[in-house]
Amino acid sequence: MLYIIVIGCGRLGSYLANSLSRTGHSIVIIDKNQNTSRLLNSEFSGFFIEGDATEFSVLKQARIDKSDVVVATTQDDNLNLMVAQIAKQIYQVKRVVARVFDPNREIIYRDFGIETICPTIISGEVFLDAISVPPAAMGGK
Residues that bind another protein (CB under 8 A): 54-57, 76-79, 81-82, 85-86, 89-90, 102, 104-105, 108, 112
CB 141, min distance to another protein, A:
33
CB of 108 to another protein, least distance (A): 6
Which of 79, 117 has the CB closer to another protein? 79
Nearest-approach distance from CB 97 to another protein, in angstroms: 17
* Pairing relationship of beta strands 69-72 and 47-50 according to DSSP bridges: unpaired
Rounded alpha-carbon distances, angstroms, from residue 97 to 36, 114, 133: 21, 7, 31
How would you label 69-84 residue by residue, b for 16+ Cβ within 10 Å and e otherwise? bbbbbbebbebbbbbb
Q: How far apart are CA 6 and CA 109, in angstroms?
A: 20
7 vs 20 by CB, closer to another protein: 7
Residue 71 beta carbon to another protein: minimum distance, rounded to whole angstroms? 16
Give whichever of 2 and 82 is closer to another protein, judged by the CB atom.
82
Residues 6+ apart with CB under 8 A from 72: 7, 8, 53, 79, 80, 81, 83, 84, 96, 97, 98, 99
Tell me which amino acid residue 37 is: S
Report the residue number, 40 or 86, with the smaller CB distance to another protein.
86
CB nearer to another protein: give 56 or 127. Answer: 56
Q: How far is the CB of 86 from another protein (least distance, A)?
A: 6
